[in-house]
Chains A and B, each alone.
Chain A
Amino acid sequence: MPALAWLGIVFVYPLGRLLSASLFTPTLSLASYARLLGSSIYLTVFVNTFEIGATVTMLALALGYPLAFVLATAGPRVSRLMLAAVIVPLWTSVLVRTYAWMVLLGRRGLVNEGLQSWGLLDAPLPLLYNRLGVTIGMVHVLLPFMVLPIYSVMKGIDTDLLKAAQNLGANRRQAFLRVYVPLSLSGLATGSLLVFVSALGFFVTPALLGGRRDMMIAMLIDNQISQLLDWGLGSALAVVLFAITAGLLLAVQRFTRAERLWARIP
Chain B
Amino acid sequence: MTSRARALRLEAAGPLGRRHPLLIVFAIATLTFLVAPLAVVLPISFSAAKYLTFPPPGWSLQWYARYFGSREWMSATARSFEVAVLTTAAATAVGTAAALALRQPFRGRSLVRLIVLAPLVVPAIIVAIAIYGLYAQWKLVGTLSGLVLAHTVLALPFVVVIVSATLQGIDETLELAAQNLGANRWHTFRLVTLPLIRPGVVSAALLAFITSFDEVVVAIFVSGTQAATLPKQMWDGIRTEIDPTVAAVSTLLIGVTTLALGLLALVRR
| Chain A residues engaging chain B, CB cutoff 8 angstroms | 1-4, 6-15, 17-18, 21, 63-64, 66-67, 69-71, 73-78, 82, 85-89, 91-97, 99-104, 106, 108-110, 113, 140, 143-144, 159-160, 162-163, 166, 172, 175-176, 180, 197-198, 200-204, 208, 218, 221-222, 225-226, 231, 234-235, 238, 241-242, 245-246, 249, 255, 258-259, 262-263, 266
Contact of A14 among B125, B131, B254 (CB under 8 A): B131
Q: Compute how far the CA of A140 lies from the CA of B35 in the bound complex, rounded to whole angstroms.
A: 9
Number of A-B contacts (CB under 8 A): 285
Say whether, besides A4-B112, A18-B129, A172 and B97 are in contact (CB < 8 Å): no
| Chain B residues engaging chain A, CB cutoff 8 angstroms | 1, 5-6, 8-9, 11-17, 19, 23-24, 26-27, 30-31, 33-38, 40-41, 44, 51-55, 94-95, 97-98, 101, 112, 114-127, 129-134, 149-150, 152-153, 156-158, 160-162, 164-165, 203, 207, 210, 214, 216-217, 221, 231, 234-235, 238-239, 242, 246-247, 250, 253-254, 257-258, 260-261, 264, 268
Q: Compute how far the CA of A69 lies from the CA of B26 in the bound complex, rounded to whole angstroms.
A: 11
Q: Which has the most chain B C-beta neighbours within 10 Å: A13, A66, A166, A222?
A: A66
Please determine whether A3 and B254 come into contact, CB atoms closer than 8 angstroms: no
Say whether, besides A66-B30, A92-B254, A201-B123, A140 and B216 are in contact (CB < 8 Å): no
Say whether, besides A3-B97, A91-B210, A238-B130, A144 and B34 are in contact (CB < 8 Å): yes
A residues near B6, Cβ cutoff 8 Å: 75
Task: Give the residue name and chain of the A residue nearest to B166 (CB).
Answer: A263
Please determine whether B12 and A159 come into contact, CB atoms closer than 8 angstroms: yes
Chosen A-B contacts, 21 in total, with CB atoms closer than 8 Å, are A4-B115, A7-B119, A10-B149, A18-B130, A21-B133, A67-B31, A73-B13, A85-B31, A85-B34, A94-B214, A96-B250, A103-B242, A109-B52, A140-B34, A140-B37, A163-B14, A172-B17, A176-B16, A202-B123, A238-B126, A241-B125
Name the distance in Å between A84's Cβ and chain B's nearest Cβ: 8
Q: Compute how far the CA of A92 lies from the CA of B254 in the bound complex, rounded to whole angstroms.
A: 6
Secondary structure dominating the interface of A: helix
Q: Compute how far the CA of A94 lies from the CA of B119 in the bound complex, rounded to whole angstroms.
A: 17
Say whether, besides A12-B115, A70-B27, A75-B1, A92 and B214 are in contact (CB < 8 Å): yes
Please determine whether B254 and A96 come into contact, CB atoms closer than 8 angstroms: yes
Q: Compute how far the CA of A13 lies from the CA of B127 in the bound complex, rounded to whole angstroms.
A: 11
Please determine whether B8 and A226 come into contact, CB atoms closer than 8 angstroms: no
Say whether, besides A70-B19, A87-B261, A245-B121, A75 and B162 are in contact (CB < 8 Å): no
Task: Give the residue name and chain of the B residue nearest to A105 (CB).
Answer: B37
Name the distance in Å between A170's Cβ and chain B's nearest Cβ: 11
Please determine whether A95 and B34 come into contact, CB atoms closer than 8 angstroms: no
Contact of A100 among B9, B40, B130, B210 (CB under 8 A): B40
Q: Compute how far the CA of A89 lies from the CA of B38 in the bound complex, rounded to whole angstroms.
A: 8
